[in-house]
Structure 1
Amino acid sequence: MICALGAAVCFGTASVLQAMAARAAEPGTGSGVDAALLLRALRQWRYLAGLGLDGVGFVLQIIALRHIPIYAVGAALAASLAVTAVVAARLLRVRLNRREWAAVAVVSAGLLMLGLASGEEGSGTGPPALEWGLLAVAVLVLLVGAAAGGLPDRSRPLVLGFAAGTGFGVVEVAVRLIDGVSWSALTDPALYALLLGGGAAFLLLTSALQRGSVTAATAGMVLGETIGPAAVGVVWLGDRTREGLAWLAVLGFVVAVAGSLALARFGEPPADPADPADPAGPVADPVP
């Protein structure tokens, strides 16, 4: 659980550092999506630091997934939005209203309940078809993402975000199914599901954030990366809770995910919170 929380801290902090680097990068001269923005951002130490934190967070995520149930790891990763909110409030001077501070507290309470109730990682490997099913889901994520490009502006970010979250969920389950690092892993469908699901998720989430509401896209991502993988872990992989504490685990999971959804606007911190032209603005609501 410590590794899962450490991954959430790494991912949440990396988001803010990368947003600060993008803000500091030289503006482009063209219109629309600036493909050279990444190259300019890579000149910023904050962006490189963010990438480093992403790498550390991924390693911690893998360690956590190999030792505790998927539902606990998924909820902890969703809680990275709470980390982003707190760090953004400090570094980007983004003001959180009372409801958002309450949501941070709710996420923390949910994770505490999960930590108390979670058992050890399940020992099940699932049916033989599960690995091929994961690969099929990863392919489906790509197809849904391609089809979602033609949806109306209002629904497109939510669908793309949910598809991206499902891709991240494929990664979570695949990590549990891959039996160590060996040459035999090259013939394991779970490995290719992990690579395809992770790559598709990154592309779709980037597209969702560029082309619509950050809040809708992030909310869809949180739902996609938590509920499905948690169900797979319980039904097929043997994830369980401590004796008599199943109710506390369910409550903690729901509370942590609900609190994360309340912080969905921090899925991508504003590029320049001091800019009055920024439609997101530095403040979500007036502070009561």
Structure 2
Amino acid sequence: MLMVSLCGALAAAVCFGLSSVMQAVGMRRAGPVSEQDPKSLVRAWLTVPFLAGTGLDLLGFGFELVALRHLPLFLVQAAIASALAVTAVAAAVVMKERLGRAEKCAVAAVCVGLALLGVSAGPEGANRAHTDFYTALAACLVGLAVLGAGAGRLPGRWRTVTLGLCAGLCFGVLALAARTLPQLDPARLMREPATYLVAAASLIALVLWTMALAGGSVTTATAAMVIGETVLPAAVGVVVLGDEARPGWVPVAVGGFLLAVGGALALARFGELSKSSSGDTPAAPSVSLPRTG
């Protein structure tokens, strides 16, 4: 099951990464799009590439759930962040985006980091959590929502960074809650607090992420989000849920995590795929890396 779960984490990263490119293609195909013109946005959302990208998002979330059931959070979250590497490579092929030497090195760093994590990760810790754990997650969500609402009044870069970080932390809460979900029996899921935390975290994260993108740098917002969704959830997985590396492999796991996340941060500009390399296609609003967890 460990290998199946690892394949699930990588498949989720591929789905999320390709989804970003598909949705960017859909936005371009729809022609000039304005955030102030709802009809133009709806027209873009209804294009076949955009709908296909949304389908990939849902498929990616399914793969992520498979991964979370048998892998430590530090591996799964690093794998999800590596979707930016998939986006970068796909953008270079499909949208003729240029990859510089540093960005090629960043893609390689992500691949090496994930390989190191894959060989060093031990089994995941507890799948069930105490009621206090869910209460703490709910309190964190409320706090992040309040902080996000206040951050909307901050000036310039601080607004973007804070909102992106809050969105990333909400996605981290989503992953922590999803990690403790029982077998996917609908009747049982309705009785689980983790189910409602996943739904609430998704909604709050998407609202904060949209706010972060409005009038801010997508690259800055993406970098802040990657930090928020990887570092703290990974630490909680180790300290609270009992995730661990194989005996004697802790330095390798730490090095792999830093390589994978650092590479993703170096590729943060690929959270934005709105400019045509040829310059003859009208720019669409920023299309950020879709997130579900």
Answer whether TM exceeds 0.5 for this pair: yes
Query: How far off its partner does 1:123 sit?
Result: 2.5
The answer on whether the counterparts of 1:134 and 1:170 sit within 8 Å (CA) in structure 2 is yes
User: What is the distance in 1 between the residues matched to 2:156 and 2:218?
Assistant: 12
- The reply on whether 1:175 has 2:178 as its aligned counterpart is yes
Out of 249, 253, 258, which is 1:245 matched to?
249
Q: Which residue of 2 aligns with 1:8?
A: 13
The answer on whether the counterparts of 2:152 and 2:211 sit within 8 Å (CA) in structure 1 is no
The answer on whether the counterparts of 1:71 and 1:230 sit within 8 Å (CA) in structure 2 is yes
Q: Report the 3-state secondary structure (helix = DSSP H, G, I; strand = E; otherwise coil) of the residue aligned with 1:155.
A: helix
Q: 1:120-175: CA deviations, max 9, x gaps? A: 12126344311111112122222222111101112111111111111111111001
- The reply on whether 1:164 has 2:167 as its aligned counterpart is yes
Out of 68, 78, 81, which is 1:78 matched to?
81
Q: 1:96-133: CA deviations, max 9, x gaps? A: 11000010001111001000101112126344311111
Query: How far off its partner does 1:182 sit?
Result: 4.5
Q: Report the 3-state secondary structure (helix = DSSP H, G, I; strand = E; otherwise coil) of the residue aligned with 2:38.
A: coil
Q: Which residue of 1 aligns with 2:55?
A: 52
Query: Mean alpha-carbon deviation: is it higher for 237-246 or for 54-63?
Result: 237-246
Q: Which residue of 2 aligns with 1:17?
A: 22
Aligned 1:1-288 pairs, distance under 5 A: 1-28=6-33, 32-123=35-126, 125-180=128-183, 181-275=185-279
User: What is the distance in 1 between the residues matched to 2:40 and 2:204?
Assistant: 21
Q: Which residue of 1 aligns with 2:291?
A: none
Query: How far off its partner does 1:225 sit?
Result: 0.4
* Number of corresponding residues: 278
Residues 191 and 43 (structure 1), Cα distance of their counterparts in 2 relative to 1, 3 Å cut: closer
Structure 1 moving runs of 4+ over 4 Å: none
Q: Which runs of 5+ in 1 are unaligned?
A: 281-288
The answer on whether the counterparts of 1:89 and 1:95 sit within 8 Å (CA) in structure 2 is yes
One-letter code aligned to 2:44? A
Which TM-score applies when normalising by structure 1?
Answer: 0.91
User: What is the distance in 2 between the residues matched to 1:126 and 1:189?
Assistant: 10
One-letter code aligned to 2:278? A
The answer on whether the counterparts of 1:132 and 1:189 sit within 8 Å (CA) in structure 2 is no
Which TM-score applies when normalising by structure 2?
Answer: 0.89
Q: Which residue of 1 aligns with 2:290?
A: none
Q: 1:8-33: CA deviations, max 9, x gaps? A: 000000001101111111435xx653
One-letter code aligned to 1:25? A
User: What is the distance in 2 between the residues matched to 1:202 and 1:271?
Assistant: 23
The answer on whether the counterparts of 1:79 and 1:257 sit within 8 Å (CA) in structure 2 is yes
The answer on whether the counterparts of 1:20 and 1:271 sit within 8 Å (CA) in structure 2 is no
User: What is the distance in 2 between the residues matched to 1:125 and 1:196?
Assistant: 19
Residues 236 and 34 (structure 1), Cα distance of their counterparts in 2 relative to 1, 3 Å cut: same
The answer on whether the counterparts of 1:125 and 1:236 sit within 8 Å (CA) in structure 2 is no
The answer on whether the counterparts of 1:170 and 1:198 sit within 8 Å (CA) in structure 2 is no
The answer on whether the counterparts of 1:23 and 1:271 sit within 8 Å (CA) in structure 2 is no
User: What is the distance in 2 between the residues matched to 1:236 and 1:169?
Assistant: 14
Query: Mean alpha-carbon deviation: is it higher for 37-46 or for 181-190?
Result: 181-190
Query: How far off its partner does 1:185 sit?
Result: 3.5
